[in-house]
Every structure is written in C-alpha cells, then in structure tokens.
Amino acid sequence: MHGEYKMPGGKLVVVDLEVRDGRLAGVQVSGDFFLEPDSALDAINRALEGQPQDADEAALAAAVQRGLGSDVMMYGLSAQAIAIAVRRAVDGDAA
C-alpha cells in the first residue's frame, strides 16, 4: 500500500506499508524532506510499525512524535504530514 502527501510549503512524504492482522507492518517512510540526524528515519518507521490500521491522523502523529528524540530536526516535514501520508496509504487514497 502506498500513500503520498505534499505538505503545503513543505516537501513530499511517501509511505509504503502493509496491513497485517489489523496493524501497520513493513512501514517505510520516504521523500525529499530534510531530517537531522538521518537515523531519525528508522525511528519514525519503528514508531509507526504495529499501529492499529484504524488509528486516526492525530494518533499516528502522536506516535511519530513520541518515537523521536528531542534533538530531531525536520525541514519540509512534520509528524502530521507523515500521519496524513499513512492514512492515505491505508485508505487506498494514494493521491
């Protein structure tokens, strides 16, 4: 499953994932955003792994936020933008 979201004034966030037993699996976030340190991408993927398939945007954004250390810096990207791309992937609205 594949979802994309272009954050207004920001960059493109892409999410590829599967749903297994009602939960997100094999989550891979990608895009042309900026993220420091670069290891934060793995932390974001891990934070989304296992989330309920019906988790709403707010719950997904909160999960991403919790998974990130306070030293992480995003440019052209936000936890909410990632959450929107996840919802689009799950809902089949690749846009």
Partner 1 sequence: MMRTEWRDHGWQLIHTTPQSPSLHMALDDVLVHEVGAEHRPPTLRIWEWASPAVVIGRFQSLRNEVDMEAAQRHGIEVVRRISGGGAMFIEPGNTITYSICAPLSLIKGLSFQQAYAYMDEWVIEALATLGIKAWYQPLNDITSEGGKIAGAAQAHRGGAVLHHVTMAYDIDAVKMLDVLRIGREKLSDKGTTSAAKRVDPLRSQTGLPREAVIERMIDTFRQRHGLTDDVLRPDELARGEALAGERFSSEAWLADVP
- Which residues lie near partner 1 (CB under 8 A)? 4-12, 14, 16, 28-38, 41, 73, 75-76, 94-95
Angle 78-34-29 from CA coordinates, rounded to 5°: 65
Residue placing its CB nearer to partner 1 in the complex, 14 or 79: 14
Cβ atoms of 83 and 64 within 8 Å: the answer is: yes
Phi, psi for 64 (deg, rounded to 5): -60, -45
Q: Smallest distance from the beta carbon of 70 to partner 1, in angstroms? A: 15
Residue placing its CB nearer to partner 1 in the complex, 18 or 32: 32
Q: Smallest distance from the beta carbon of 54 to partner 1, in angstroms? A: 23
Q: Smallest distance from the beta carbon of 35 to partner 1, in angstroms? A: 6
Residue placing its CB nearer to partner 1 in the complex, 32 or 52: 32
State the Cα–Cα distance between residues 60 and 79, nearest whole angstrom.
Answer: 8
- Cα 51 to chain centroid, rounded: 11
